[in-house]
Structures are given as C-alpha cells and as structure tokens.
C-alpha cells in the first residue's frame, strides 16, 4: 500500500504546527510558568527551545523523511543492529500515556463549550468560577463522558487519513484560533490596570529558579513541540522532498512559542486582576478565562467560540498522537486504517478512565510524560544523529530540497555536543535533588 503524504508545504507546516499548538500552549504553559515563578522560567524555556528542542525537531523531521517509514521502522532502517528501534517503541507507549490524560483535559474544554452555550458561566464571580472547575474535575462520569466524545472526534479524523483529514482541518482552524487569542489577550491586558500580570511574565526574578523549574522548562519545551516520542518523525515521513526542512522546523517552533507566549499574556493579567493565584496548578486556565469573558463585550459569543477553538487545537494535537499509534498498528498488523484507529481509541479510553476518575493519576502521567519520557526520548533521538546517521547523510536530507542549510555546522554541533549532554546533565542534577543537593538553589 502506498504511504500517504501531505499535499502542500503550507499544509505540512499547518499540520505540524497543529500538533505542536494545543493544550500544551494554552493549558499547560501558563500553569507551569505560574508554578515556577513567571519570567525567569520563560527565559529558561526560550533557551531550551533554541538550544535543545529545535535541533531535536530538525532531527525528527529529517529521520522521518529520510526513511519515509513509521516511527519504529524508521530507526530500525537506519540502524538495523542494536536497540535503537526501542526509541520508536517507547514513543508508541508514550503516545498512549499522553493521550490518556490529554483527552481528559480536552474533554473539560469541550464541556466548557457546553457551559458557555448554556450561559452557566455568565455572571459568576471568580470564586464561583473556581468552584465550577473543582466540580468538573471531581466528577469522573462527566470527565469520562467528554473524554470519549473528544477521542471519538480524534478517531474520526485519523480514520479519514493524512491529507484528507489532518491537513485539511489544521489549515482552516489554526488561524482562527490565533485571532481569537489576540482578542482575548487585549481584554485581559486592559483588565490588569496595575500591570502585575505583565510584570510577572516579563521581569525575571532568577532567585525563583530551582532544579525543578529547570527540568520543567525542558519538559515543557518537549511537550509543547510534540518531541521525543516520534510524532514529528512520523509527520516528517509525510513531508515532500522538495520542502525546506530546517526552515519548516523553525516556522513550527516560532508559531508554537508565539502562541504559548500569547496564552501567558492572556492568562496572567486576568489572574492578577481577578485574584486567582498564578501558581494554582492545572486548573489555572479554567479558573481564569471565564472571568475575562464575563467582563468583555460580546463575552458570551467569544467564550463559546474560544472554548470551541481550544478544543479544536486539542484535537489537532491529539490526532498527531493517535497517528503514531495507528501508523504503528498498520505497519505491524494486516488491518485497515479504520480498524487500527478503533483499536487505538478503545485502548486509550480504557487508560483515560483511570485519569478521569483519579486526578493524581492525571498529574502523575502529565509529569511523567513531559519531565521524564519525552526528554529521555529526545536524548536518544538526538544522540542517534551523530552515532547512527552521521553528518553527511543528515546534511543531504536537510538540503534535499535543493538549497543550502548554512547553519548546518551549528545544528550538528548542538546535536553532537550540546543537546544530549544538556539533557543528561539536567536529569542527573534532578536526581541529585533526591539526596538533597539542588545545583540551582
Ligand atoms: N504539543 C502538544 C501540545 O502542546 O498540546 C501536545 C503533544 C502532542 C505532545 C503530540 C506530544 C505529542 F507527541
């Protein structure tokens, strides 16, 4: 069977950006930044994006396109001996773990569309808004119900295939989300008359940096760019040879960062203006946004459309994870795409029921994936480049479109000497905190 691919350059970038931009930017980034003290964390995050995440993204795209294979086979093709194919396998496992909790949160965003339409959130004071979220989170049946709806939609798109499903939806919906975020940002900024939110996000206090925040900034960079589990390797395999890979990677990373930053500008000013603690954890977005909508013109309609688009952003990311699983099943078993999708969705629902019923499991999976599994996956992927692919083959792939990649030496230097060792250093330093040594405290 011929492997599908993206039809156009813009479509490929939209699909990869659709994977990157999601709850990681709008739900996770503000809450993790809030818990880690704001601006100093943001700087660390930018630093890791450029020096570690971007090279890993370029490596994933290139490895995917070079082989044109599903993630497990891609690593095996380039390195038939040894255990490198394990990278692909661990990606498949990681996709399950992330999908299971991600869709619970995505389900909440969908439930908030319903609450917005019925006007339930209108006129509530900030305490009542917080209470609404607490009630939502602690109702397993409700969470399971919306998670199943979310996963069914994801499954429907994936079952339709790469270009007809993923590419088409991503191209239309991402720009609309961006416009709406900007609108909501403006209202949030005008609510915060004392500029406390802006100060929190933009004026760094380095004393807030601890080893925990260093690891979390790295984890957030990986999570947000969908790295370390083969998603971008799989997408790379769908990108045409005529497309400039390094440039596409930079575009995706910039879009991803920009939207996370805007989400910060949207959440923090309002959090301060409404007395919501920016470090209040995973509920931050749900406890903040309804307050902005309650105080803006046409708040009702903006609220409905906003949660709708947030759900869409979640679906486009969820699609990319499901695609890793489906692609894996298709390559291993002689089954058709719709059946592979149904199997993957059913297994994810079973794991998701655990996360929906027991919130510590959700937090644990969130932490485990972003702060351990993805960076470790990224470590092996980037190490694979100098050890198994080599400079010549890598450059050939990155320049396959016919142009020159002038920064190739910088990329290769980062891939060989900086990124893997920085990840390792951060891991070891984190482990030292278990015996009471914090290198950054
Ligand atoms: N990058 C997605 C987000 O920011 O919401 C989440 C994600 C998608 C993580 C795909 C990992 C992945 F493979």
Contact present, 418 and 51 (Cβ < 8 Å): yes
Residue ID of nearest Cα to ligand 1 atom 13? 226
DSSP 2: P
Q: What is the pTM of this model?
A: 0.94
Measured at the alpha carbon of residue 52, what is the angle toward residues 46 and 57, in degrees to the nearest 5? 105
Nearest alpha-carbon partner for 159 in 382, 327, 288 = 327
Categorise residue 382: left if φ over 0, alpha if ψ from -120 to 50, beta otherwise.
alpha
**CB atoms inside a 10 Å sphere around CB 5:** 17
Pocket test for ligand 1, best of 61, 90, 224, 374 (most atoms within 8 A of CB): 224
Residue ID of nearest Cα to ligand 1 atom 11? 226
231 lines ligand 1 (CB under 6 A): yes
Alpha-carbon distance of 288 to 275, in angstroms, equals: 9
From the CA of 213, how far away is ligand 1's center (Å)? Answer: 20
Q: Return the C-alpha torsion angle 319, 321, 324, 325, nearest 10.
A: -90
Alpha-carbon distance of 341 to 327, in angstroms, equals: 9
The rounded mean pLDDT for the chain is 92
From the CA of 19, how far away is ligand 1's center (Å)? Answer: 6
pLDDT band at 148 (very low <50, low <70, confident <90, very high): very high
pLDDT band at 157 (very low <50, low <70, confident <90, very high): confident
pLDDT, tens digit (0-9, with 9 covering 90-100), for 88-115: 888 999 999 999 999 999 999 999 999 9
pLDDT, tens digit (0-9, with 9 covering 90-100), for 184-209: 999 999 998 999 999 999 999 888 88
- Residue carrying the six token digits 């440039």: 247
Residue-level pLDDT at 435: 81
Q: Is the pLDDT of residue 63 over 90?
A: yes
Provide the CA 269 distance to its chain's centre, in angstroms. 23
pLDDT band at 71 (very low <50, low <70, confident <90, very high): confident
320 lines ligand 1 (CB under 6 A): yes
Residue-level pLDDT at 163: 62
Q: What percent of the chain has pLDDT over 90?
A: 71
pLDDT, tens digit (0-9, with 9 covering 90-100), for 301-320: 989 988 988 998 898 899 88
Tell me how long the chain is: 441
Highest mean pLDDT among 60-74, 154-168, 177-191, 341-355: 341-355
Q: Is the pLDDT of residue 220 over 90?
A: yes
- Residue carrying the six token digits 């931009």: 21
Phi and psi at residue 172, in whole multiples of 5°? Answer: -85, -40
Q: Is the pLDDT of residue 165 over 70?
A: no
229 lines ligand 1 (CB under 6 A): yes
From the CA of 317, how far away is ligand 1's center (Å)? Answer: 5
Q: Is the pLDDT of residue 4 over 80?
A: no
Sign of the C-alpha dihedral computed for residues 292, 297, 300 and 303 taken in this order: negative
Alpha-carbon distance of 434 to 92, in angstroms, equals: 29
pLDDT, tens digit (0-9, with 9 covering 90-100), for 230-266: 999 988 998 999 999 999 999 999 999 999 999 999 9
Rounded average pLDDT over 320-333: 89
State the closest ligand 1 atom to the C-alpha of 29, by its place in the atom list counted from 1. Answer: 4
From the CA of 127, how far away is ligand 1's center (Å)? Answer: 31
Residue-level pLDDT at 174: 77
Contact present, 218 and 428 (Cβ < 8 Å): no
Q: Is the pLDDT of residue 84 over 70?
A: yes
Q: Is the pLDDT of residue 440 over 90?
A: no
Contact present, 121 and 115 (Cβ < 8 Å): yes
**Alpha-helical regions (H) of 138-244:** 140-160, 168-191, 196-202, 211-224, 231-236
**CB atoms inside a 10 Å sphere around CB 226:** 30
SS (H, E, C) 66-135: HHCCCHHHHHHHHCCCCCCHHHHHHHHHHHHHHHHHHHHHHHHHHHHHHHHHCCCCCCCCHHHHHHHHHH
Pocket test for ligand 1, best of 16, 17, 19 (most atoms within 8 A of CB): 19
Residue-level pLDDT at 3: 66
Pocket test for ligand 1, best of 18, 20, 325 (most atoms within 8 A of CB): 20
348 lines ligand 1 (CB under 6 A): no
Rounded average pLDDT over 64-84: 89
Q: Which helix (H) or strand (E) element contains residue 70?
A: none
From the CA of 125, how far away is ligand 1's center (Å)? Answer: 32
**CA-to-CA separations, 110 to 30, 81, 332, in angstroms, rounded:** 19, 45, 34
pLDDT band at 431 (very low <50, low <70, confident <90, very high): confident
Mapped onto helix, strand or coil, the DSSP state of residue 244 is coil
Highest mean pLDDT among 108-117, 308-317, 325-334, 432-441: 108-117
Alpha-carbon distance of 41 to 217, in angstroms, equals: 7
Q: How far is the first Cα of the chain from the last one, in angstroms, to the nearest whole number?
A: 55
130 lines ligand 1 (CB under 6 A): no
321 lines ligand 1 (CB under 6 A): yes
Residue-level pLDDT at 162: 63
Residue-level pLDDT at 413: 98
Residue-level pLDDT at 40: 96
Alpha-carbon distance of 282 to 302, in angstroms, equals: 22
Alpha-carbon distance of 181 to 214, in angstroms, equals: 28
224 lines ligand 1 (CB under 6 A): yes
Residue ID of nearest Cα to ligand 1 atom 7? 226
Pocket test for ligand 1, best of 57, 226, 282 (most atoms within 8 A of CB): 226
pLDDT, tens digit (0-9, with 9 covering 90-100), for 288-300: 999 999 998 888 9
Residue-level pLDDT at 283: 93
Q: What percent of the chain has pLDDT over 70?
A: 97
317 lines ligand 1 (CB under 6 A): yes
């Amino acid at each position: 069977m011929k492997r599908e691919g993206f039809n156009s350059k813009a479509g490929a970038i939209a699909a990869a950006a659709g994977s990157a931009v999601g709850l990681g930017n709008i739900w996770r980034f503000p809450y993790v930044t809030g818990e880690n003290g704001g601006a100093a964390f943001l700087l660390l995050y930018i630093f890791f994006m450029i020096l570690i995440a971007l090279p890993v993204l370029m490596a994933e795209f290139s490895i995917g396109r070079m082989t044109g294979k599903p993630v497990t086979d891609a690593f095996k093709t380039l390195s038939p001996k040894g255990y490198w194919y394990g990278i692909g396998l661990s990606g498949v496992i990681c996709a399950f773990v992330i999908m299971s909790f991600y869709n619970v949160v995505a389900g909440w965003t969908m439930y908030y569309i319903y609450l917005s339409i019925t006007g339930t959130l209108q006129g509530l004071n900030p305490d009542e808004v917080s209470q609404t979220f607490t009630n939502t989170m602690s109702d397993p049946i409700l969470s399971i119900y919306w998670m199943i709806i979310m996963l069914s939609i994801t499954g429907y798109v994936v079952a339709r295939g790469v270009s007809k499903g993923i590419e088409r939806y991503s191209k239309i919906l991402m720009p609309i989300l961006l416009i709406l975020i900007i609108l909501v940002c403006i209202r949030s900024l005008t609510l915060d008359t004392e500029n406390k939110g802006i100060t929190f996000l933009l004026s760094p206090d380095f004393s807030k940096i601890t080893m925990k925040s260093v690891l979390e900034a790295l984890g957030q960079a990986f999570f947000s760019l969908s790295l370390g589990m083969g998603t971008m390797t799989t997408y790379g395999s769908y990108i045409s040879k005529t497309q400039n890979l390094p440039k596409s990677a930079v575009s995706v990373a910039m879009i991803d960062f920009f939207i996370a930053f805007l989400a910060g500008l949207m959440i923090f000013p309002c959090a301060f203006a409404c007395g919501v603690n920016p470090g209040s954890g995973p509920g931050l977005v749900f406890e903040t946004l309804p307050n902005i909508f309650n105080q803006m013109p046409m708040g009702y309609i903006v609220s409905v459309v906003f949660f709708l688009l947030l759900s869409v952003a979640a679906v486009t990311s969820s699609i990319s994870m499901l695609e890793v699983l489906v692609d894996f099943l298709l390559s291993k078993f002689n089954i058709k795409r719709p059946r592979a999708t149904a199997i993957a969705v059913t297994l994810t629902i079973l794991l998701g029921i655990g996360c929906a019923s027991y919130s510590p499991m959700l937090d644990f999976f969130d932490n485990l994936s972003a702060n351990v599994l993805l960076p470790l996956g990224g470590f092996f992927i980037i190490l694979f480049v100098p050890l198994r692919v080599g400079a010549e083959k890598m450059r050939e792939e990155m320049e396959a479109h016919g142009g020159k990649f002038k920064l190739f030496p910088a990329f290769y230097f980062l891939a060989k000497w900086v990124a893997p060792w920085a990840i390792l250093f951060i891991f070891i330093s984190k482990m030292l905190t278990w015996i009471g040594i914090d290198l950054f405290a």
